[in-house]
Amino acid sequence: MTSAPSPAAARLSALLPDLSPLRSSADFRLLWVQGLVTYFGSFMALIALPLQIKELTGSPLAVGAMGTVELVPLVVFGLYGGALADSADRRKVILGTEAGLGVLALVLLVNAALPDPMLWPLYLVAGGVSALAGLQRPALDSLMARIVPHDQLTAAAALNSLRWQFGAITGPAVAGLVVAYAGHATAYTVTVVTFTVSVLLCLRLTPAPPAQDSPKPSLRGIAEGARYAWSRPVLLGTYAVDLAAMFFAFPNTIFPFLADELDARWSLGLMYAAGSVGSLVLGLTSGWTSRVRRHGLFVVFGAAVWGMAIAAAGWFGDVWLVLVCLAVAGAGDMLSGLGRSTIWNQTIPEELRGRLAGIEVLSYSVGPQLGQVRAGAMAGWTGTRSAVWSGGVACVASVALLTAALPKLLTYDSGTDEDAVRGRARRSAEKAAESSPSGA
């Protein structure tokens, strides 16, 4: 006879990640493993590429120019990718873009193997990766609500974030060692291998065709998605809060100067990793999030914690306290991200999900880009630490103002929100049709 678990064991089990999506959806399992492999290889290239530009040019400006090369393709192809995800088989979009990313990794490998590697292919690949990522991400994001049961979407978001954090921690760490001891070509070889494995996994995904009356990609279709988002205060709040948090409180670009001011240059790598560590800890204890229905609170509270922790990181003069603050900020950012992802997947209609996912790509990618510009300019004007803490304070203030202006975000409840209820009903009808003999 099996004894009942102790109260302590039950509490621990409630904290551990909810693995229900991995058990209930074969496609989610495939995408989770595929993403784990891809993120590791992508982060290898993400570290190796700027290091190679640095070695070839010796210019910080040349390294920073990567951001300019990447931004425009991300915006253009992110919006188009959203429209494409609503009009094409999402499996084909994911498969094609993943294969394209593998080809670009191969270009990096060939260039690195030359006796005298060239600079221009590195910028070409950086722009190409940004364009393909913009095309792919809406298809990936919009596929979640189709393959994961409605009541498991928060758990799926937590598992996806956990996977990303694992890649963000291990990929750069291993890449630094590989580049230092085996060279850029070896790092790019690992990236090519991971994308090859990823393509093989994507081939096993179930086709995800669009609705029969889905429109072709167009500016008009993109505008229709934007109008829908604008008409939904909850959705608008998720975008606005994320943009404000990243614009005011994303100081990563000035971490080297912060490390110098704290007389702790050795801590620079830890500063970059601390946020991911905080997110990882929250992900490993995220089981409780599956039982919460007020996901708007996640968005607001997580963004406020992010801002307060960044403000504290700029205020404290002890490097260890700064690292703790950055880890807390990472946990807050992940909590806010869980709320955003869940609300998006619970409320957005299937026929608009791709286009809204394209807008989501902009909301969580453009913000950090602009935030780094703000942080750098503010640091040059007021000093590094004041640029950090003032940005955190501005983040908290802007979150408070946006919450007051869009109160429906704070009161969002997945059990009573009209869009969430309709989304649950649509998903139940789809599952019933799939399981019926005529729908098989």
Higher-pLDDT residue of 58, 327:
327
Most confident range, picked from 8-22, 140-154, 192-206, 365-379: 192-206
pLDDT of residue 252: 79
Higher-pLDDT residue of 326, 18:
326
Q: Shortest CA distance to 332 belongs to which of 366, 363, 361, 308?
A: 308
Q: How many other CB atoms sit within 10 Å of the CB of residue 212?
A: 5
Q: Shortest CA distance to 314 belongs to which of 264, 398, 386, 380?
A: 386
Confidence at 308, pLDDT banded by 50, 70, 90: very high
Residue 440: pLDDT over 50 = no
Q: Shortest CA distance to 21 belongs to which of 133, 134, 163?
A: 163
Q: Shortest CA distance to 186 belongs to which of 132, 83, 112, 119?
A: 112
Residue type, 372: Q
Q: What is the rounded distance in angstroms from the CA atom of residue 382 to the CA atom of residue 361?
A: 31
pLDDT of residue 13: 60
Percent of the chain with pLDDT over 90: 38
In contact, 53 and 63? CB cutoff 8 Å: yes
Which pLDDT tens digit goes with each residue over 45-55? 877 887 788 78
pTM of the shown model: 0.76
Q: Lowest mean pLDDT of 8-17, 139-148, 270-279, name the range.
A: 8-17
Q: Shortest CA distance to 339 belongs to which of 307, 294, 309?
A: 294
pLDDT of residue 427: 67
pLDDT of residue 11: 59
Q: Lowest mean pLDDT of 15-29, 340-354, 361-375, 390-404, name the range.
A: 361-375
374: Cα within 13 Å, side-chain hemisphere? 24
Higher-pLDDT residue of 369, 332:
332
Which pLDDT tens digit goes with each residue over 98-121? 999 999 999 999 999 999 999 999
Q: What is the rounded distance in angstroms from the CA atom of residue 436 to the CA atom of residue 9?
A: 40
As given in the structure block, the two tokens for residue 256 are 């080297």
